[in-house]
Amino acid sequence: MPRKSERAIDHELDWYLDHGVDYVILNQPMFGRYFAHPPQYPEEVALYQHLMDSLTLVKRFDDGGYVVDIYRTPLAADQRHLN
């Protein structure tokens, strides 16, 4: 079983694709702490931004006091075209 990742940026996009991941869920409490203070966390902000830019946002939930984003990987997009 793959190890559970604490942060989405603990892996690059290729890792997600190699492990057959279709969707990546990002929540504001996790990534927002870096974006709230970008001068203190430039590496983390850059990594999250790169990951987000590499995925397709399919749904955003922002009604619970914070944001939860669901992103589709290119793998999931490719599989949709096969069905």
What ranges do the domains of the chain cover?
12-82
Q: What is the average per-residue pLDDT within 55-60?
A: 96
**What per-residue confidence (pLDDT) applies to 66?**
87
Whole-angstrom Cα distance, residue 32 to residue 15?
Answer: 23
Closest-CA residue to 51 (of 79, 20, 9): 9
The position carrying tokens 């949709």 is: 80
pTM for the full model?
0.82
Q: What is the average per-residue pLDDT within 5-15?
A: 89
Checking if the pLDDT of 55 tops 90, the result is yes
**What per-residue confidence (pLDDT) applies to 39?**
97
Checking if the pLDDT of 68 tops 80, the result is yes
**What per-residue confidence (pLDDT) applies to 26?**
95
Q: Provide the 8-state DSSP code for 37.
A: S
Q: What is the average per-residue pLDDT within 53-68?
A: 93
Beta strand pairing status for 23-27 and 68-72?
Answer: antiparallel
Q: What is the average per-residue pLDDT within 26-48?
A: 94
